[in-house]
Structure 1
Amino acid sequence: AGEIAALLRSRGALFFDEIVSGTRRLVTDVEQGLRELIAGGWVASDGFQGLREIAGGSRSRERHRRRAPRGGNYLRGGMFAGGGPPGRWSLVRAPEHDPNLADEYEDEVAEATAHALLARYGVVFRDLAVRESFTIPWRYVLRALRRLEARGVIRGGRFVIGVAGEQYALPDAVTLLRDVRREPHDGTRITVSAVDPVNLTGVLLPGDRVPAQRGRTVTFVDGLPETAPAPVAVGD
């Protein structure tokens, strides 16, 4: 996000493909960076469709990509050749130009990122967060989590045994963890898509890593991958 803001400040309003080429970042990184800048009120688009596709997340982007012609998005040498959301993007205010605004921007984006992680996983810690494509460093997210704990919004503690570092959880997630721990194992089987965030096999859960690819699935038995040799202990 910082690189995009700096590019827009130096060159003015740019189309999506110009931002990709100017930052030399992956398309998904630029999309995420723009989403963070939109959330903080730092950028605007001259067209509603482009703003909707970026702010709408993966579903809007997938609809756009299905409409876009196959191939031709990259030139020889890996340069991006268009096909992104329409419209030009420009800065409303420049976070990196003013130290006070920079601090405000970091706090806003970090807290938004913390809320997104908590909504997705319920329990958040470094090893889980770094799997995501957020461009803001973990240390800023960690400070945001500490602030949320101080305000009584979330809880800090040791919720997942075997994971190093600080852990934070939504109060409802803590209650669910305790309830699940008390439930008897009855062989309940649940199959989900491999792209579901719950697919943490080989990362947090035991077993071989199952790549997050469309068309692949993961089956859980009593909450564990079907081929997992042993459970992950959950603390009080």
Structure 2
Amino acid sequence: PTVGATAEIVEALRTSGACFAPDLATATRRLQCDVEEALWDGVARGLLTADGFAAIRALVSGARSSPRPSSSVSRLRRGSFGRSNAAGRWSLVGAVDAVEDRESLAEVVADQLLQRWGVVFRDLAVHEGGCVPWRELQWALRRFEDRGLIRGGRFVAGFSGEQFALPAAMDGLKATRRQERTGERVTVNACDPLNLTGVVIRGPRTPAVRTNTVTYVDGLPEGGTTVGP
């Protein structure tokens, strides 16, 4: 942006470095509500980032609110944002250098997927997205297998193509198959990464909306999902 609150905040951060939201309000002479909206606009554009999780928690929980101008002015004059959703220091997102070693990048991403899921295959990798195509991840996983770090095989039924798993994940799958079903129920928000309906679990996809939930019974999704208002 070249004009507006977001542009002013970007320029202030470029000049002064990382700043707290009240400092940005002072530098730009804008109200709290204007600064917060500009910060979130900068985040959406990939220009700004925060050094803590308070702002992210506020965004995910839907706790953002638009304070009344009068209260914003009073807090601004006191030099405090109170219970602001723009907590923490804000800074510009640094420029990302082009990666020349694609093999190393693919191995890093493949290892990240293995640590996250234990078992990796094409459908899951595509669901995760990312900057590395499956064919490069596949070669990286094959190199891991050649080094004896992981195993290739058929670990998850219903999916074609190669699958790769960590030894610990294989042991966990075997132990789970031997366990008796107890009717254990686990409910997760539909935005949770464990919402694998329509991805690993066959059937319709439960939309990743904050008001939706998915309930698993013994690891399998219950007949329906809870849809919020």
- TM-score w.r.t. the length of structure 2 is 0.58
Query: Could you say which residue in structure 2 is the equivalent of 1:195?
Result: 191
* Structure-to-structure mapping, 1:99-114, within 5 angstroms: 102=100, 104=101, 106-114=102-110
Rounded to whole Å, the distance in 2 between the matches of 1:206 and 1:162 is: 8
Q: 1:217 to 1:69 in 2, by over 3 A?
A: closer
Q: Is the 8 A contact 2:110 2:140 kept in 1?
A: yes
- Counterpart of 1:116 in structure 2 is 112
CA 214–69 in structure 1, closer or farther in 2 if over 3 Å, else same: closer
Q: Tell me whether 1:89 sits opposite 2:83 in the alignment.
A: no
Matches within 5 A, 1:154-193: 154-193=150-189
- For the residue of structure 2 that corresponds to 1:130, the secondary structure is helix
Specify which structure has the bigger relative contact order, considering alpha-carbon pairs within 8 angstroms and separated by 6 or more residues. 1
How big is each residue's C-alpha offset from its partner over 1:113-160, in whole Å with a ceiling of 9 and x where there is no partner? 111211221110001110123022111111111111111111111101
Summarize the Cα distance change of 1:115–1:60 in structure 2 as closer, same or farther, 3 Å threshold: farther
Distance of 2:95 and 2:64 partners within structure 1: 24
Structure 1 match to 2:140: 144
Query: Which amino acid in the other structure matches residue 179 of structure 1?
Result: A
Deviation at 1:60, TM superposition (A): 7.7
RMSD value over aligned CA atoms? 3.3
Long gaps (5+) in structure 2: 1-13, 15-42, 67-89, 225-229
Question: Does 2:195 align with 1:216?
Answer: no
Structure 2 counterparts to residues 224-235 of structure 1, below 5 A: 224-227=220-223
Instruction: Tell me the number of residue pairs that the alignment of Structure 1 and Structure 2 aligns.
Output: 159
Q: Output the amino acid matched with 2:94.
A: W
SS of 1:86's partner is strand
Give the direction of change, closer, same or farther, for the CA distance of 1:145–1:195 in structure 2 (3 Å limit). Answer: same
Question: Could you tell me how far apart the structure 2 residues matched to 1:144 and 1:64 are?
Answer: 37
Q: What SS is found at the alignment partner of 1:219?
A: strand
**Where does structure 1 lack aligned partners over 5 or more consecutive residues?**
1-14, 16-26, 35-48, 71-84, 96-101, 229-236
What CA distance in whole angstroms lies between the structure 2 residues aligned with 1:207 and 1:88? 39
Task: Provide TM-score, normalisation by structure 1.
Answer: 0.57
